Amino acid sequence: MLHMDTLDQRIISRLVADARASFADIGAAVGLSAPAVKRRVDKLLDLGVLQGFTAVVDPEALGWGTEAFVEVHCHGNVPAHRIRGGLEPLPEVVAAYTVSGQADAIVHMRAADIHHLETAMERLRAVDFVNRTVSTVVLSRLLDRPPPADRA
Amino acid sequence: MLHMDTLDQRIISRLVADARASFADIGAAVGLSAPAVKRRVDKLLDLGVLQGFTAVVDPEALGWGTEAFVEVHCHGNVPAHRIRGGLEPLPEVVAAYTVSGQADAIVHMRAADIHHLETAMERLRAVDFVNRTVSTVVLSRLLDRPPPADRA
DNA sequence: CGTGAAAGTACAACCGA
DNA sequence: TCGGTTGTACTTTCACG
């Protein structure tokens, strides 16, 4: 599946640090010409290793300053794709995972404030397969960063 | 807390969708010239509303296919910045939050596989202020997306 | 993978509402 | 202070070696 060498990893690392860096700058950093970098980036996009480029926005500044993690416990056995389908319409859900342990899923939610979070969680609890939720409100964000380019 | 109008939100929305979009393309979408868009983006970067631009990488492809959420319970009262300092050196920690409830912090970890996750959690438990951890392993990622540009 | 040329883009200085 | 226009340097992108 992967012909991913050290050069690709260094290119990815540079793009994670700055997605708007020019191919020429990246090339200078990794020792390649700009077209060579572009060919590798295009290949990585095609393979799905790179999924795209995005802006990092301060949620506070956009009015999404309150977040919470919610354990979702379902009625009986609900397949993952059905959980996904139930959560996808809720705009406050920024991430969701099926998990091992007592809970069936962990849902990461963002809202404007506590009141908005409350109404969003009411909508979450109203989803048909949801039985019980256990929510944990975030007080402060300590860290938020991409994983290292090369594994330890 | 500053003057962010509809134009800024639409520009941010476009950059979240594609951080490498040209100012000319963004301008065509929002009805502004390229330099006008650049001036607004520079201002948003300066204000910290936009924090930067990054590549979206598939963690699987990079060899970080296993993730977990870990509740951290501390010895006594540990200030947030000290928790941050203790977690920051662990490369497997991709995000961390102080939270309300029984736990003191929630830590989001990524590792190459279950064994790597185990060794990373041993290192986490070895951090001086950590008393107890409760870990929840992710089985599948259902959703992972940015919050909407305008609040509901 | 590098080179070079054509088209497109970024950026700063300048002008007008 | 906002946006538009212009000119210059740089980037992207392609065909070719």
**Total-model pTM:** 0.92
Instruction: Specify the pLDDT at position A2.
Output: 59
- Do B73 and B128 fall within a single domain? yes
Is the CB of residue A80 less than 8 Å from the CB of residue B142?
Answer: yes
Residue A151 falls within a domain, yes or no? no
Examine the domain organization and report whether B28 and B89 are in the same domain. no
B121 occurs within a structural domain: yes
Does some domain include residue B53?
A: no
Looking at the structure of chain A, the number of domains it has is 2
Cα–Cα distance, B113 to B110 (Å, whole number): 9
User: Residue A145: pLDDT band by 50, 70, 90 thresholds?
Assistant: very high
Half-sphere exposure of B64 (CA within 13 A, CB side): 23
A15 touches strand D (CB under 7 A): no
Interchain pair A97, B19: CB under 8 A: no
Nearest residue by alpha-carbon distance to C1' of C2? A33
One domain for residues B83 and B30: no
The answer as to whether B86 is a domain residue is yes
pLDDT of residue B151: 59
Nearest-Cα distance to chain A for B21, in Å, is: 9
- Quick one: pLDDT at residue B38? 98
Report how far residue B37's alpha carbon sits from residue B31's, in angstroms, rounded to the nearest whole number: 9
One domain, residues A70 and A130? yes
User: Any residues with CB less than 8 A from the CB of A140 and at least 6 apart, and which?
Assistant: B80, B97, B98
Closest CA to B50 of A58, A53, A16, A112: A58
Flag whether B143 is in a domain. no
Q: Would B128 be classed as within a structural domain? A: yes
Token digits of residue B100: 């309300």
Mean pLDDT in runs of 10 for chain B (152 residues)? 84 97 98 98 97 96 94 96 98 98 97 97 98 97 90 54
Distance B31 CA to C11 C1' (A): 20
A35 CA to D16 C1', in Å? 13
Residue span of the structural domain in which B24 resides: 6-47
Do the Cβ atoms of A58 and B1 come closer than 8 Å? no
Q: Give the pLDDT of residue A69.
A: 98
Same domain (yes/no): A34, A71: no
Q: Which residue is nearest to nucleotide D3 (CA to C1')?
A: B36
Q: Are residues A75 and A124 in the same domain?
A: yes
- CATH code at B114? 3.30.70.920
| Residues A123 and A77 reside in one and the same domain | yes
Q: What is the pLDDT of residues A34-46, one digit of tens each?
A: 999 999 999 999 9
Where residue A21 sits, what CATH number does that domain have? 1.10.10.10
Whether B142 is in a domain gets the answer no
What's the CA B38/C1' C10 distance, rounded, in angstroms? 9
Together in a domain, B129 and B70: yes
